Amino acid sequence: MNAIVAVTADWGIGLKGDLLINEKADMRHFVEHTRGATVVMGDRTLASFPGGRPLKGRRNVVLTIDPELVAPACAEGTSCEIVYSIEEALATVAGDDPSRVWAIGGASVYRQLLPYCTYAYITKFDVTLPADVYFPDLDADPQWHVIEEGASHYTQDGVRYRFLTYENDAPVACA
């Protein structure tokens, strides 16, 4: 399993249910990695998508504690499954190629699934913005280290960002 996320310099990821930065190159990066794969998310992340619809061309696994949540209608080539615990989410994706399973948020899902992730694909923006949710600081975690750092890019507002890949030295097996 992998994680993919955009963070600010202090590892902020969101404020009041919205992303902190909307950068087209980061969105393309996300799509390139997750298209045709399985994505695991919380119900608030699903609700934040246009129309509250699952991501097209992916198997969407949605973690919730809401027993009333019903899987929304999906476009062709897309599926959506509702699960009620991290254990159920892990069992649901156990038969998938782990390199094609992605934790995509929110903060609680990231915290719970990060130990199972081999890689974390981080778009790091060199700016600090008000945030109310954060991704764990992988730079401060000795179990994680950067294995690839892309060139610097800049947003239209002049904010520097880089695509980084972190590796987990000892991921927990999903089986």
List pLDDT tens digits, range 101-149. Answer: 999 999 999 999 999 999 999 999 999 999 999 999 999 999 999 999 9
- Return the CATH fold of 2-168: Dihydrofolate Reductase, subunit A (3.40.430)
What's the pLDDT at 78?
83
pLDDT digits (tens), the chain, 175 positions: 999 999 999 999 999 988 999 999 999 999 999 999 999 999 999 998 888 889 999 999 999 999 888 887 777 778 899 999 999 999 999 999 999 999 999 999 999 999 999 999 999 999 999 999 999 999 999 999 999 999 999 999 999 999 999 999 999 987 5
What's the pLDDT at 175?
57
Tokens of 151: 């060139």
Q: Where are the domains of the chain?
A: 2-168
Q: How far is CA 146 from CA 19, 26, 110, 112, in A?
A: 23, 18, 18, 21
Find how far residue 170's CA is from the centre of its chain.
Answer: 19
The bridge status of strand 59-63 relative to strand 79-83 is parallel
110 burial level (CB within 10 Å; 0-12, 13-18, 19+): buried
